[in-house]
């Protein structure tokens, strides 16, 4: 499996996010999933209106991506374009069994989510349903707002919205997050090690040695930050 990061630098500079910041965001997000990038593609000299499939790096990515590869990007709007373009792209990646994680939607928008023995609907079906509905209506460029509206309704109902399941939790039969007892015990061990002044890197190494869990030092930091003892 090849892990690819796609960085888009808006030529118009209207929505420009610096390369270094995008790279940091992508690396931290991938690290939480235990992944490291094999390749970072930097797209520049194009406006967001240019189809992803017509950009130099976007085209190269689609020509070279293989079954089982994983792609990360910061914002869905940089790769989806219109609803029709989005459906075409998603179907192309789905046929190749390629995952596409968009940080602003916090999940894989192509493949159904599967995390450690827990299978959940995730956001892939949601994004594809919204794009399908929009493709038969007038193209307004507001499919991102439609996705957020649907997600807001699901969140209000207490449903898990997809993306990486936080370590220490699992999704129950009703689609809601519940604590995972075994993982909570491991988190308690991490907290004790940190209290004993272990570094994040040393904790990550110990987790891999004792529990075969691959975390980056940043992933350990985030887990401990979210589970600080009151």
What pLDDT, in 10s, does the model give residues 70-117? 999 998 888 988 888 888 999 999 999 999 998 888 888 888 764 433
**Residue 220 carries which DSSP code?**
H
User: pLDDT tens digit string along 162-204?
Assistant: 566 788 888 777 667 788 899 999 999 999 999 999 999 999 9
Q: How far apart are CA 47 and CA 145, in angstroms?
A: 20
**Which pLDDT value is given to residue 149?**
53
Question: Mean pLDDT across the chain, nearest whole number?
Answer: 80
Average pLDDT score over residue span 64-69: 92
- Domain 3-156 CATH class label: alpha beta
Q: How far apart are CA 57 and CA 78, in angstroms?
A: 12
Looking at the chain, the domain(s) classified CATH 3.40.50.1390 span 3-156
The model's confidence at residue 118, banded by pLDDT at 50, 70 and 90, is very low
Query: What values do phi and psi take at 168, rounded to 5?
Result: 105, -5
Query: What values do phi and psi take at 13, rounded to 5?
Result: 65, 5
């Amino acid at each position: 499996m090849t892990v690819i990061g796609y960085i888009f630098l808006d030529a118009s500079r209207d929505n420009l996010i610096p390369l270094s910041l995008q790279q940091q965001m992508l690396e931290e997000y991938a690290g939480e999933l235990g992944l490291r990038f094999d390749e970072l593609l930097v797209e520049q000299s194009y406006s967001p209106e240019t189809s992803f499939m017509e950009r130099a790096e976007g085209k190269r990515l689609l020509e070279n991506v293989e079954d089982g590869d994983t792609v990360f990007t910061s914002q869905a709007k940089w790769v989806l374009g219109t609803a029709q373009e989005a459906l075409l792209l998603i179907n192309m990646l789905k046929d190749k069994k390629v995952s596409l994680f968009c940080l602003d939607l916090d999940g894989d928008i192509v493949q159904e989510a599967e995390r450690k023995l827990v299978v959940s609907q995730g956001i892939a079906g949601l994004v594809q349903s919204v794009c399908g509905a929009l493709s038969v209506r007038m193209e307004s460029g507001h499919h991102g707002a439609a996705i957020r509206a649907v997600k807001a309704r699901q969140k209000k109902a207490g449903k898990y919205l997809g993306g990486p399941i936080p370590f220490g939790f699992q999704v129950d039969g009703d689609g809601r997050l519940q604590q995972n007892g075994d993982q909570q015990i491991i988190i308690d061990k991490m907290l004790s090690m940190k209290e004993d002044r272990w570094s994040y890197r040393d904790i990550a190494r110990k987790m891999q040695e004792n529990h075969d869990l691959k975390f980056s030092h940043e992933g350990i930091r985030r887990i401990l930050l979210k589970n600080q003892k009151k």
